[in-house]
Structure 1
Amino acid sequence: MRKGITITIAIIAIALLWYFFIKPQDYQIRVVAKANIGTINQALKAWNNTLPEASIRQIKDLAHLEQMVASGDSTHIYTWYAKPINDSTSQLVIDVKDIQHSFANKLAVPFSDTNFEKQTRKTVTDFIENLNAHKKEFKVTFIGEEQLPSTYCACVEHKTLQSNKAFGMMKSYPFINSVVASNKIQVNGVPFIETTKWNIENDSLSFNFCYPIIKTDSLPAIKDLIYKEFIGVKSLKAIYNGNYMTSDRAWYTLLDYAKEKNITVNPKPIEFFFNNPNMGGDALRWKAEVFMPLTDQDE
């Protein structure tokens, strides 16, 4: 009997030690989000930028992010983990820790609904509401595989953050338009971007914003304008409707499809734009054809 009591006390002591000093979170929330992991990743980063005192960083991969939010005399750490349920729904697990008051929170949480818990739930609810509103602002339709044609083009090079891609395009639109018009260059299609480097970890992006043109011997040499041959490749294709600032949501749809079907792709998306964002209008009527090149072009 004494041995049984000793073992029980030891188990309780170990459990308490783990709960108060080893358990990483003070509180955990689980919620289903109606979005894929890439959209959640970008929406969470964008929403974080609207908070007065907060920072966020991606850890491991798209599915893991760590957010620090100032709250009064405390700093709350939110560790977000997203796990796909299907192609449009994910399970979110959020671990939350109050750096300054972790022990007190762990002591109080099992016995009462603390202000810390209420604030944490409100923060997560605010994000989910923001995500749901964002989902209504765009539409992505997966199409399949398609061979892109080759074309000659006039381009402007950009290096920026992924979220600033559309601003680079808007800046280049009038510049290339004026060059084309003043030099009577014949356009041969809609403008597009050709990604040359995409760092998924830190959201940095290098791309060429291009106008397809007819190649001639009299093309003018213009500062900041380059002429190049775009080589068409076989790619996965999706249609994006919405503001071009968030057309990268289609990139994640294509990456998810490739992963699900065990298709190897080159993560350098190509986008063709059928509307001029400088003209405004209902963004849901804007259209972009989005492509993710296949790595094996022989199949």
Structure 2
Amino acid sequence: MKKVIIIFCSVIILSLCWYLFIKKYDYQISFESDYGPGAVYQEVLDLKTLNSTDSLKTVTLNGWKSFNKITQTAHLKEVDSIELVWDFEALHDSITKITVRTRSTTNKFLQRLSIINPFQKNNYIQELKEDLIAFQKQLYELKGIYTIQQGEDAVTTPGATCACITSTTSIKGKAGAMIANISRLEEFLNKNELKQDGFPMVQVRHWYIPENIITFDFCFPIAENATARAENDVFIRKIESTKAISATFHGNYKLSHRAWFDLYERAKNENLSIIAEPLEVYRGNPMNGGNPIKWQADIYLPLQTD
């Protein structure tokens, strides 16, 4: 019996020493979201505060591994600075397990003693739990802002002859660049007596995934046999049809790139070779107003072909 007690006490002491002095993180919290890893990754990447109701809880981005991991420094009321490591695991096309590991960057030893003390509630962990619950609720509320529905099989993308303008911007800046160029494209069509012959498109030329930077052509389709001379920033190009996986996006077009990430994750899971040059076709006209959730965009991620 004495030997059993000694072994038990040794295990307890070793476990405490491991947690207090060796274990890398103080605490781990996991929860699920009804979005693919790419969309959730983008939401976390865009975080400026840990809780949207408290602007003092600032978040600083430290590092990332595209669609899989994000490292941040956050500031709470109960502790000046903590490190957060977010991991994203696909459980399904539209369900993601989110794991958040945390450690205090100040008073580490005292914080850990407080966490394992059964007679004391650790305020820093409690505050973090409440903030992550608020973030989980925020993710849930996104369902009222946009939806993504992936197609089951590969499809052929629409081809078109277009008048286009090229822009390079952050992914978040895509919609602003489009808005800035609408009048220029309309002016070009009017000047050359051309009619728009199809839905506006965005054809990405380069997607710099780690930096979230894109170079893209914003295009108005015109008749295939139309003739016009390139003029300063506006040029004529042919967007060729190709095989692609697809998704239907409903919502404000400034968020349509969320579908790219889900398609990217799908391609990785299904071992599909892709070309990271998404195509977006906008079937709604935001200038007409209305509820953005009714605006539709067809999203395509091209597949490599032999």
Task: Give TM-score scaled by structure 1 length.
Answer: 0.90
Give the aligned partner of residue 17 of structure 1.
17
SS at match of 2:190: helix
Q: Does 1:115 align with 2:123?
A: yes
Tell whether 2:203 aligns with 1:186. Answer: no
1: CA distance, partners of 2:178 / 2:62: 26
TM superposition shift of 1:165? 1.0
- Assess if the C-alpha contact under 8 Å between 1:65 and 1:81 holds in 2: yes
d(CA) in 1 for partners of 2:195, 2:184 = 16
Q: 1:63 aligned to 68, 92, 99, which one?
A: 68
1:133 equivalent to 2:138? Answer no
| Correspondence for 1:272 | 281
Give the equivalent residue in structure 2 for 1:99. 105
User: Residue 48 of structure 2 aligns with which residue?
Assistant: 48
User: Offset at 1:12?
Assistant: 5.1
Query: For residue 204 of structure 1, what is the aligned residue in structure 2?
Result: 213
- In structure 2, what is the Cα distance between the partners aligned to 1:208 and 1:237? 19
Give the deviation of 1:252 after TM superposition: 2.2
2:147 aligned with 1:147: no
Letter in 2 for 1:60: K
Asked if structure 1 preserves the Cα contact closer than 8 Å seen for 2:230 and 2:236, the reply is no
Structure 1 position 233, deviation (Å): 1.0
| Paired amino acid for 1:275 | G
Distance 1:129 1:76 in 2: 22
Counterpart secondary structure, 1:177: helix
Deviation at 1:107, TM superposition (A): 0.2
Return 148-157 or 158-167, whichever deviates more: 148-157
SS in 2 for 1:25: coil
Does the 8 Å CA contact 2:278/2:301 hold for their aligned counterparts?
A: yes
When residues 79 and 68 of structure 1 are mapped into structure 2, their CA distance, relative to the original with a 3 A threshold, is: same
Q: Is the Cα contact below 8 Å between 1:193 and 1:207 reproduced in 2?
A: yes
SS in 1 for 2:214: strand
Shift of 1:255: 2.1
How many Å apart are 1:274 and its aligned residue?
1.4
Q: CA deviation at 1:9?
A: 7.0
Q: What's the counterpart of residue 252 of structure 2?
A: 243
Report the identity percentage.
24
CA distance in 1, matches of 2:303, 2:33: 29
Give, in whole Å, the separation in 2 of the partners of 1:191 and 1:162.
Answer: 18
Q: CA deviation at 1:243?
A: 0.6
Name the SS of the counterpart of 2:154 in structure 1.
strand
1:39 is aligned to 39
Q: Give the Å deviation of 1:262.
A: 2.4
Return the letter of the residue paired with 1:260: N
Counterpart Cα distance in 1 of 2:205 and 2:18: 48
Q: In 2, distance between residues paired with 1:268 and 1:18?
A: 47
Query: What CA distance in whole angstroms lies between the structure 2 residues aligned with 1:293 and 1:194?
Result: 11
Matched, 1:290 2:302: no
Which region of structure 1 is more displaced relative to structure 2, 274-283 or 196-205?
274-283
Q: What code does the residue aligned with 1:61 have?
A: S
In the alignment, the residues of structure 2 paired with residue 161 and residue 279 of structure 1 have an alpha-carbon distance, to the nearest angstrom, of: 26
